[in-house]
Structures are given as C-alpha cells and as structure tokens.
Amino acid sequence: MSGQINAFEMAQEQFDGVAKKLNLDPQISEALRWPMREFTFRIPVRMDDGSLRVFQGYRVQHNDARGPNKGGIRFHPSETLDTVRALATWMTWKCAVADIPLGGGKGGIIVDPATLSTAEKERLCRGWVQNMWRNIGPRQDVPAPDVGTTPQMMGWMMDEYSKLTGQFTPGVFTGKPLGGGGSLGRTEATGYGVIYTVREAMKYLGIDPKKSVAAIEGFGNVAQYASIGFIEMLGGKVACVSCWDRHDKTSYTYSHANGIDPHFLLTIVDQYGTIDKVKAEAAGYIIESGDKWIEKDCNVLIPAAIEGHVNAETVVKMSKNVKIVAEGANGPCTPEADEYIKQKGIFDIPDFLCNAGGVTCSYFESVQNDMNFYWSKQEVLEKLDAKMTSAFHGVLNMSTKENVYMRDAAYMVAIDRVVKAMQLRGWA
C-alpha cells in the first residue's frame, strides 16, 4: 500500500459509519469489524542459485456466514497484514453486494514477483499452499489471482492442493488457466464489470457515453479491460492510463492526443503492467509523472491501480468536469477524498460494487467446476452483465430510497445481507 494510510483502519472507519447509521447491534458490529480467522506464516523457498529465501505469507478469512470465503492472493513488495485484513473485509461486502453466496477472504506474500524466475515463483506458490491447504477448499475458502499473481500461478496452486489432498479439486482456486478449469471471460470480467456499472450510472445521470472521456489509473488487468470496454462498449474516449514502471521504480502517465489505444498498449506492456516507454514515445504518447492521470480533462475517473491514490492531496487536482468516479481498484479513495467527492456531488461507484465483476466471474467458474460443464464466453459475459446491472440498481435504489451516498447504500445492502445470514445461522 502507499504512503501512511492504514487500509484496515480505513475499512473499519467506513464500516463504523454505516453501522451507526444502521443502528447495528454493538455485538454484531464488533463481530464484523474484525476478521474471523487470520493466518500468518513463513515460506522458505530454494532459489535457482541454491540459496534459501524466506517469504512472509498471509491469509485472512473475514466472514463466511453467506458461504465459503473468497478473495485473491496478492504478491506485492509492500504487502502488510493490515492491507490483507482490509481487502478481506471488503470482499465480504463485495460478495454480499453482488449477491453471490460467498464470504470474504484475502491472501498475500511480501514479494516483488518480477524479481523471481518462473521456477522460483512456482516453488513460492506451492509453499503458500503447503501452509494453507488444511484451511482452504471449495467448501471453506477459495482464493484467486490478484495484484502480482496470474492464472498460471493458480494452476500450480490447484495442483499442489490436489496432490496434498489426493483428489483433483479444480474448485479450490478460481482464475485458473483455460483448459485447467478456468472460465472464459475471467480475464475481461473485472474491467468489463467496471464499465457495466459506468454504463448504468451514465443512464441514470443522463450522460452521453459517446461524448465521454475517461482518465484511468493503472494498466494492469482491470485498467486494460476497463479501457477497452470504455471505448468499445460505450463508444467513449480514454485520455490516459498510468502504470508503475518496475525498472525505474516510479510511476508514469501515458496520454495521447487522439485518446489512448488500449490494443496497441497491450502489445507493449509486460505481464506486471509496466508499459515500454520507448515504444510508447515512438507511437506519439505523451509520458508524464504518475500522478498526472488525475488532472486530465475527463468526465469519468477510473482509479484502477492501487489503494489510497485518490487522497486529500490528489483529489483536489481532478478535472472540474468529473461526474463519475468508478473505483476499479480496491480502496482507491481515502475517507478525505471520499468526503470531497461527496461534497462536490460527484457520482461515486464504490469499489466493492464497481469491481465485483472479477469475483462474480470467479463464482461462475466454481459453478462450472462443480457442474463439470463450461459456458461460452458470450454466456459468461451476459450472465456477468445481468448480475452487475442488478447489483448496481440494488445499490442505486437503496441510495435514492434512503437518500444516502452510493458507498453508504452499498454498505447498507451488503451488511444487511451478511447480518441476515448470521442471524439465520444463529451467530447473531
């Protein structure tokens, strides 16, 4: 995570505000403020040169009242237990708001995966599973890829789990490669899901998508398909994307006079989301510092990189024309930025609604694994669109009915569903 923001304190602060509004029983609040289970462990890995390196691993299971825990595993050099706790908490709300029968979890390893060889990454992935296999599974906790992890890694992890349990169990991890139990449409799911919610917000606000311009932070999985979706599904223009340059250890914004071409940028971005500067410059892209993305003239802002980047300092720099903030990343807006966005009357699509497309498609993947029958990409994306559209309108209805901000409305919908499940199970 970036700067001094503690993501978990932020998640608790957001929850406390809504718990107060909902007049939630203090005991239920206390149960939901903290994860149910946390695992921290050390993973020794034999490196290619024969040396041994020990990595810190995490898995946090926030709440499983509505079904098995669900959430990604991140490989990031600045991973912390508090970041994982926050992300696990948000997963509980995300699954509930999307109305899929799953709880919230998240995992991680403190590592820059770009510094490892393929064989070292495989040993690290298998090491994570060797620590966690007793506490994950299709009926317990189903991890998935996230920042710094890939479908191939899920394939290795699923294989390790199947070996340790002696049973082929594709449903233990989602986001697996195609042909290895993966679902068509998973690569596009989160970015396209962002765009389905933006499309619905535009309809509600009476904004013409074809005259719309987006500024996007990041150019990893979410930002790539959000860019493509914004241009191809909505007919809008994308002014810029940004990325962390793993060679220079700094971030850059890439814009183009005609709007960026995501298909071209996809040919010059590596698997970690770093764009090749030389090739971008040769193609006429303007390259500026990483914080410039937020200042671009646009009416839709899509932070889709990392948490806390829309904060008190940066939010005031956003274009006066911004009408929609679509939170593609998890926790991109700090409470101060959130307050500013609210005061300005900008329509915010909160992270756990906006980026729920990934987990919804993961849910479809486990359904397909269970049936051992696989849908076409078109079927997956149609089902995804229907789920995201319904989730968006569920939150919008709550927001208009209770006259509350979209984030509060999303929390109200989600918390209500989780509390009901806890009550049904006799936990509350």
Indicate which residues carry an active-site annotation: 106
Name residue 144's beta-bridge partners.
72
- List the one residue out of 176, 206, 228, 193 whose CA is nearest residue 354: 193
Binding site for ligand NAD (CB under 6 A): 2, 146-148, 190, 218-223, 242-244, 251, 273-274, 290, 304-307, 328-330, 355, 358
Say if CB 73 and CB 149 are below 8 A apart.
yes
- Greatest CA separation for the chain: 63
- DSSP H or E stretch at residue 91: helix 81-97
Say if CB 175 and CB 195 are below 8 A apart.
no
Token pair, residue 282, equals 């040769």
Residue closer to ligand NAD by CB (options 2, 267) is: 2
**CB-neighbour burial class of residue 141 (10 A; exposed 0-12, middle 13-18, buried 19+):** buried
Residue closer to ligand NAD by CB (options 28, 85) is: 85
- The closest residue (CB) to ligand NAD is 220
Question: Minimum CB separation from ligand NAD for residue 144, in Å?
Answer: 7
Q: How far is CA 226 from the centre of its chain?
A: 12
Question: Minimum CB separation from ligand NAD for residue 355, in Å?
Answer: 4
Residue closer to ligand NAD by CB (options 108, 236) is: 108
Say if CB 304 and CB 194 are below 8 A apart.
yes
Question: Minimum CB separation from ligand NAD for residue 149, in Å?
Answer: 8
Give exposure, 177-188, as e/b (b: 16+ Cβ within 10 Å). eeeebbbbbbbb
Residues 113, 124: Cα–Cα separation, whole Å: 10
Residue closer to ligand NAD by CB (options 148, 181) is: 148
Residue closer to ligand NAD by CB (options 153, 207) is: 153
Token pair, residue 256, equals 């183009």
Question: Minimum CB separation from ligand NAD for residue 401, in Å?
Answer: 27
CA dihedral 81, 121, 90, 214 (to 10 degrees): 120
Residues 47, 111: Cα–Cα separation, whole Å: 14
Residue closer to ligand NAD by CB (options 291, 339) is: 291
Question: Minimum CB separation from ligand NAD for residue 231, in Å?
Answer: 17
Question: Minimum CB separation from ligand NAD for residue 162, in Å?
Answer: 23
Residues 67, 70: Cα–Cα separation, whole Å: 9
CA distances, 337 to each of 176, 193, 241, 343 (Å): 35, 23, 20, 10
Token pair, residue 154, equals 């899920």
Residue closer to ligand NAD by CB (options 57, 185) is: 185
Say if CB 199 and CB 210 are below 8 A apart.
no
Question: Minimum CB separation from ligand NAD for residue 112, in Å?
Answer: 11
- List the one residue out of 314, 280, 283 whose CA is nearest residue 296: 314
- DSSP H or E stretch at residue 314: helix 312-315
